Amino acid sequence: MAASPGRRQTWLTRLTRRSHKQPIGQDVTDERDQKPPSVEFPRRRLLYGRRKGHTLRAHHDNLMEVLLPQIQVPENGPLDDPKTLFDDAAKEVWLEIGFGGGEHLAAQAVAHPMVGLIGCEPFVNGVAKLLSEVEERGLSNVRIHPNDARDVLERLGDASIARAFLLFPDPWHKKRHHKRRFVSAETLDELARVMVDGGEFRVATDIKHYCRWTLREIRDHGLFTWTAEKPSDWRVRGTDWPGTRYEA
């Protein structure tokens, strides 16, 4: 979606996971490809703010108590093959990091019934909204982790995720808070490990300086390639990229 007068530009960034066999510079490739299968994040910092907003409606409360346990990602244990989380055989699995109100994830689940979607979101009200979408649309291909996405990342098996989304994350504007941004060497290491070769990592923001910062971090990391070749590649939304409530 291109910006219109009076609206802020949204940057829609598509990146692909480089092949594990593709040379990037011998020192970078060797160091990252020789990492152990999974890495626990040291001294984990909170990457999100409040956990709950307004009081949940009675129906949402009921969904949290009844439906969430049925479709929640297990809290412990390895997730070597996340396809097994889904009752129907999923051809591939996608991961959304911080799904907000769940509009994007629900739309993708409807459009791709043979894809299993894992959504991570610590904000209780957002989880309740997605549960409502799951119930109303009868979605069987959604699984939810109502907490920090890193809990799931570090347990996923190598090359088990075909597509990942990070849409309108908190930019943490103040410099002293930049360490709370999701994109970091550690999280990119884990994303690169769990994504298949050629897998797509989609990032969206309407904060220009955050877009630049994120692209620089990803470029320096070395295991993802920005696929844009012309301005329309990051200005214009594709038909397979549903909108969210966070867009200006």
Residue 133 has φ and ψ, to the nearest 5°, of -65, -45
Residue 145 has φ and ψ, to the nearest 5°, of -115, 105
Is 144:68 a contact under the CB 8 Å cutoff?
yes
Question: Which pair of tokens denotes residue 163?
Answer: 């597509």
Each residue's pLDDT tens digit, 108-154: 999 999 999 999 999 999 999 999 999 999 999 999 999 999 999 99
Q: Which residues have a catalytic role annotated? A: 170
Q: Does domain 11-37+51-235 have CATH number 2.60.40.10?
A: no
Where does the pLDDT of residue 228 fall: very low under 50, low under 70, confident under 90, or very high at 90 and above? confident
Where does the pLDDT of residue 62 fall: very low under 50, low under 70, confident under 90, or very high at 90 and above? very high
Question: Which pair of tokens denotes residue 239?
Answer: 């038909």
Q: Let me know if 37 is exposed, middle or buried by CB neighbors in 10 A (0-12, 13-18, 19+).
A: exposed
Each residue's pLDDT tens digit, 163-185: 999 998 887 555 665 677 888 88
- pLDDT above 70 for 48: no
- pLDDT above 80 for 220: yes
